[in-house]
Structure 1
């Protein structure tokens, strides 16, 4: 999880049902002075950035920012430079765009930096300082029988990306998240997560490495999304990839202590988690997550149900079959980033 804060506004999100430009006053304008937070989203359908601007007076704007990409997965927003970065699955590169918070709906956002076309099948981005890590789930060794994936490590200086090194791992990757200096990674096609301690400083050359630790998360069929904030980890469960109704998410409070208590190769008991799933959730293939610890809101990019949605949940502490507070249609929703302004 990144630096976040957003208002818990039931009235706001109950009417937040579309991903085109709108607000609850119907005037399509946002009051910058009252702006509380922004949620950025990528998608697989057209590759554009969707920016949801949320104001503290319960109004909001939803803006589509046109990009170079036709298919994007992974997104990061840098508030200090007002730049948003995506991993393009059509161009196979990182692209950074300027003026992300002020570009108007329907406008083409200005490119400020692009990496070389190094990527093959990018799925997520994790950022720590000037280190940009891209999880790529393409077959690394050319043998489909063996499980493997890659972590492309870039450094960003000003408007320049440099591919520093590529870390090959012995599992398929999807979602990734920095927690301090440690990089947590979803082990795709399983219910496992892995951690690489001191990732950026310990892995500076091209190499094949094993995770520092890998555990199974009981109760999950196949995890994809991962988010962390305020000591709580959120993991999504896509269940059967061919089903658009069997998804869910797990909330793990006091995550670090629970993770540390499980031995390498062991299992984190479902009793130490909270699971949300069921027909009311509208979750089938929840592929990405964000978490706001201060206001206890889980945000999900749902890829399959209804063709794609951005949804959020509160009052999930007891788990179970609960409906979303926010339900915004976004075709091919793939990634989220929640940023405090």
Structure 2
């Protein structure tokens, strides 16, 4: 970040509310636990209330048929989407009112300019929103990060970074950004990402995850020091995906050399036909209940799958399984 005071504000905001598909809250008084999901085929977003013993789900139409990143701001009661249909960030307001009124749609409050093409994920820290652009012919085969500042009425593009990997999932941890390298088994980190000016951005470290075929989803719990990754395997298969949990992650990552490998001995793996994992494209983790929430894109045309974190690797069936056409992104709120 160019402005030191602004950077400090971003980090303080991150401590108060850190996101990108997981929740690190250990509060004793819980008023809200919700899972937000988006679709890349249906033009719908869904909100699942996880507090009741029998969770309930409500769905709403939005302006984007295809959205590959989702976040919820409780302070402004807004859902943020990375729209692939319109190539922009979109904010939908009055979500709580829509839930109470059983509305069928959400109203677009504001959006960014159309700066990116082929978005895959968003990561949020305070009012900073980063969008990943995956290379495609339509964007000149450029893998880029777009950094926005969210305001009361819009999104302001702050800077852009050309990166050295094919992008998909990303996750903020403090001032560092973890990213998966699509089409590989690799995980990278960009240290002090917001301290850089626009231009080329080189990863600070890159490691390979042994036994993982193709990374996509990523989330990290700093409270538990647990990293969760997804493996989509072969894109054409709806049955070869998996979820990988790495406990004591900071120690495992730091002790692995740059371009080294995190062995299976440091992983807990969920793979197999009982798991219903084919193309798990995004993931969220609740460190309080020890539950993993997966956006499964291929199996059944789209599902939301929930798993209890196992103690050993195996073929585990989901504890919850909900059909959701085109399910592409998940975000968990606990407060």
Which range, TM-score by smaller chain? 0.7 to 0.9
What SS does the corresponding residue of 2:23 show, helix, strand or coil?
coil
Counterparts of 2:129 and 2:289 in 1: how far apart (Å)? 28
Choose the corresponding residue for 1:204, options 197, 201, 205.
197
Partner of 1:29 in structure 2? Answer: none
CA spacing shift, 1:291–1:315, aligned 2, 3 Å: closer
Alignment RMSD (CA, Å): 2.0
Choose the corresponding residue for 1:65, options 56, 60, 69.
60
User: What count of residue pairs does the alignment treat as equivalent?
Assistant: 309
1:6-38 Cα deviation digits (max 9, x unpaired): 9xxxxxxxxxxxxxxxxxxxxxxxxxx996411
Partner of 2:106 in structure 1? Answer: 109
Partner of 2:207 in structure 1? Answer: 215
Contact 2:82 2:90 in 1 (8 A): yes
Partner of 2:305 in structure 1? Answer: 311
Counterparts of 2:242 and 2:34 in 1: how far apart (Å)? 24
Contact 2:62 2:105 in 1 (8 A): yes
1:26-79 Cα deviation digits (max 9, x unpaired): xxxxxxx996411000011123211111234x1332111121111111001111
Question: Which aligned segments of 4 or more residues in structure 1 are displaced greater than 4 angstroms?
Answer: 140-144
Gaps of 5+ in 1: 7-32
Establish whether residue 42 from structure 1 lines up as the match of residue 10 from structure 2: no
Counterparts of 1:196 and 1:256 in 2: how far apart (Å)? 15
Partner of 1:18 in structure 2? Answer: none
1:1-341 equivalence runs, <5 A:
1-3=21-23, 36-56=32-52, 58-104=53-99, 105-139=102-136, 149-201=143-195, 203-205=196-198, 207-229=199-221, 230-341=224-335
Counterparts of 2:159 and 2:322 in 1: how far apart (Å)? 38
What SS does the corresponding residue of 1:117 show, helix, strand or coil?
coil
Contact 1:140 1:168 in 2 (8 A): no
Using the TM superposition, give the Cα deviation of residue 85 of structure 1 relative to its aligned residue in structure 2, in angstroms: 0.1
Counterparts of 2:316 and 2:76 in 1: how far apart (Å)? 38
Using the TM superposition, give the Cα deviation of residue 138 of structure 1 relative to its aligned residue in structure 2, in angstroms: 2.1
Using the TM superposition, give the Cα deviation of residue 320 of structure 1 relative to its aligned residue in structure 2, in angstroms: 0.5
Counterparts of 1:280 and 1:59 in 2: how far apart (Å)? 22
Counterparts of 2:309 and 2:263 in 1: how far apart (Å)? 22
Counterparts of 1:319 and 1:162 in 2: how far apart (Å)? 44
What SS does the corresponding residue of 1:258 show, helix, strand or coil?
helix
More helix per residue: 2
Counterparts of 2:110 and 2:68 in 1: how far apart (Å)? 17
What SS does the corresponding residue of 2:253 show, helix, strand or coil?
helix
Contact 1:140 1:149 in 2 (8 A): no
Q: Tell me which moved more, 185-194 or 130-139.
A: 130-139
Contact 1:38 1:339 in 2 (8 A): yes
Counterparts of 1:90 and 1:264 in 2: how far apart (Å)? 37
Using the TM superposition, give the Cα deviation of residue 140 of structure 1 relative to its aligned residue in structure 2, in angstroms: 8.2
Contact 1:274 1:319 in 2 (8 A): yes
Counterparts of 1:231 and 1:42 in 2: how far apart (Å)? 27
Using the TM superposition, give the Cα deviation of residue 112 of structure 1 relative to its aligned residue in structure 2, in angstroms: 2.0
CA spacing shift, 1:112–1:143, aligned 2, 3 Å: closer
Counterparts of 2:30 and 2:290 in 1: how far apart (Å)? 21
Q: Tell me which moved more, 127-136 or 312-321.
A: 312-321
Counterparts of 1:36 and 1:331 in 2: how far apart (Å)? 25
Q: TM-score, normalised by structure 1?
A: 0.86
